[in-house]
Amino acid sequence: QIPTEQWAQVLEKTGGTVVHKKIPVPKPGPDEVLINIKYSGVCHTDLHAVKGDWPLATKIPLVGGHEGAGVVVARGELVNDIQIGDYAGIKWLNGSCLSCSFCRTANEPLCPKPDLSGYTVDGSFQQYAIGKAAHVARIPKECDLEAIAPILCAGLTVYKGLKESGARPGEFVAIVGAGGGLGSMALQYARAMGLHAIAIDGGAEKEKMCKELGATTYVDFTTSKNLVEDVKKATPEGYGPHAVLLLAVTEKPFQQASEYVRSHGTIVCVGLPANAFLKAPVFDTVTRMINIKGSYVGNRQDTAEAIDFFRRGLIKAPYKVVGLSKLQEVFDLMEAGKIAGRYVVDTSQ
Ligand code: 8ID
Ligand code: ZN
């Protein structure tokens, strides 16, 4: 009962718009599963893929999307640890070689030969998507597929970023871009992990959402007269947050974070603004012992842990559902910075 044709959103030209059209349903290879995608989150990475603003080419034509939640409908002959009818998710890392020294040490996202969903292989903006069985997210049956979709990239990525920050319960973390998709998830994971979160973003709608999600303070980067002071003031003794999670899609906050991070604190870069560079004063970095690092999605264990926080009811970030046919409108809102939280597309519409 798997159809031969399906609806998908297809990018036919880098820098163009996506087209809602019918394409063939793919067939899984021996080590792959075919997932009937019910819902997919829309990540800013999908917009980077459309615009082609990263130093890494996408496949063309491309079906984007890497937060796809659905039901396994077919599997290759080598797959035996996931059953037809199981819930599963397509995440950014669609597959990796599993034999290099990165894969062997649970650093699969660093594999030099990765398959990236919705980037180098077709992703979840279609009704039937393929994933390597080793990598598809295992989703417990009690989870709601609509609500869990954004966990598959946004949730996983910020959970890993918070772990990489080394921040411990009771400490302070600044979330830069807190009103966006990753940011709204970061506020919920931070709270669940016992951290105090300082939210930084712009506008009243995002302020309201951030406070509802558990931020102790909101700093509006569009109106603050002195952002560095405002962030430091929000921490005990004014020494600044122990960690900074940079999720914004502009360069400026990446240059600014070293000015307010606490001495011996850690700046974790996650957002991927085009053509951006990091800059920090060497003197302060040395004498204040500042750590600056990157964090890139998460491995299979991080995925399982991030999903389990959700399963336990600890992660409730707002999202809006629209039909897959409306994807271009979601991209337009995202480009304008007008999305508080996440959009999820319903592939049946
Ligand atoms: O593994 C990774 N490292 C990873 C995984 C997933 C996504 C990285 N990303 C990258 C995306 O490619 C993108 O570059 O993280 C970035 C954020 O993705 P998103 O959360 O999906 O984007 P969004 O929903 O548009 O949110 C961005 C927020 O940043 C705010 C915006 O207002 C928006 O709410 N923002 C900006 I743009 N400039 C800001 C500033 N100067 C700012 N917030 C505070 N200060
Ligand atoms: Zn993503």
86 C-alpha vs ligand 1 centroid, how far in Å?
Answer: 32
Q: Which ligand is nearest to the CA of 66?
A: 2
- Measured by CA distance, the residue closest to atom 36 of ligand 1 is 248
pLDDT of residue 89: 98
| Strand intervals (E) in the chain | 5-11, 18-24, 32-42, 68-75, 87-90, 93-95, 115-116, 128-132, 137-139, 172-176, 196-201, 217-220, 243-246, 266-269, 291-294, 319-323, 342-346
Provide the 10 A C-beta neighbour count for residue 252: 13
Strands 87-90 and 68-75: antiparallel
Question: Would you say 84 and 74 are in contact if contact means Cβ atoms under 8 Å apart?
Answer: yes
Which pair of tokens denotes residue 144? Answer: 């709601």
Alpha carbon of 329 to those of 49, 69, 326, 343: distances in Å? 16, 21, 5, 11
**Does the beta carbon of 161 sit less than 6 angstroms from any atom of ligand 1?**
no
- Let me know if 267 is exposed, middle or buried by CB neighbors in 10 A (0-12, 13-18, 19+): buried
Question: Residue 217 and residue 153: Cα distance in Å, rounded?
Answer: 25
- Equal CATH topology for 5-152+298-346 and 155-294: no
Question: Residue 214 and residue 199: Cα distance in Å, rounded?
Answer: 9
Question: Residue 117 and residue 172: Cα distance in Å, rounded?
Answer: 33
- Reported ipTM: the value is 0.99
182 C-alpha vs ligand 2 centroid, how far in Å?
Answer: 8
Question: Residue 102 and residue 110: Cα distance in Å, rounded?
Answer: 6
CA proximity to 272, closest of 296, 288, 305: 296
Is the sign of the CA dihedral 34, 115, 152, 323 positive or negative?
negative
pLDDT digits (tens, 9 = 90+) for 73-131: 999 999 999 999 999 999 999 999 999 999 999 999 999 999 999 999 999 999 999 99
Question: Residue 76 and residue 132: Cα distance in Å, rounded?
Answer: 10
CATH annotation of 5-152+298-346: 3.90.180.10
pLDDT digits (tens, 9 = 90+) for 192-225: 999 999 999 999 999 999 999 999 999 999 999 9
pLDDT of residue 21: 97
Mean pLDDT value of segment 153-174? 98
- Measured by CA distance, the residue closest to atom 12 of ligand 1 is 45
Determine the atom of ligand 1 nearest the C-alpha atom of 221: 45
Question: Would you say 133 and 139 are in contact if contact means Cβ atoms under 8 Å apart?
Answer: no
43 C-alpha vs ligand 2 centroid, how far in Å?
Answer: 5
Determine the atom of ligand 1 nearest the C-alpha atom of 341: 24
Question: Residue 326 and residue 346: Cα distance in Å, rounded?
Answer: 10
Residues 6+ apart with CB under 8 A from 16: 50
pLDDT of residue 224: 98
Average pLDDT, the chain: 98
Angle at CA of residue 307, ends 331 and 85, nearest 5°: 90
Three-state secondary structure call for residue 170 = coil
Which pair of tokens denotes residue 46? Answer: 């999908």
Residue spans per domain, the chain: 5-152+298-346, 155-294
pLDDT of residue 17: 98
Determine the atom of ligand 1 nearest the C-alpha atom of 272: 14
pLDDT digits (tens, 9 = 90+) for 298-332: 999 999 999 999 999 999 999 999 999 999 999 99
In percent, how much of the chain has pLDDT > 90? 100
- Residue 319 bridge partners (DSSP): 342
pLDDT digits (tens, 9 = 90+) for 253-299: 999 999 999 999 999 999 999 999 999 999 999 999 999 999 999 99
- Fold type of domain 155-294: Rossmann fold (3.40.50)
pLDDT of residue 52: 96
- Which of 54, 247, 297 has the most ligand 1 atoms within 8 A of CB, as the residue to mutate? 247
Which pair of tokens denotes residue 52? Answer: 């082609």
User: pLDDT tier at 53 (50, 70, 90 boundaries)?
Assistant: very high
User: pLDDT tier at 164 (50, 70, 90 boundaries)?
Assistant: very high
Question: Residue 110 and residue 294: Cα distance in Å, rounded?
Answer: 12
Q: Taking the mean position of all CA atoms in its chain, how far away is CA 306?
A: 12
Question: Would you say 98 and 134 are in contact if contact means Cβ atoms under 8 Å apart?
Answer: yes
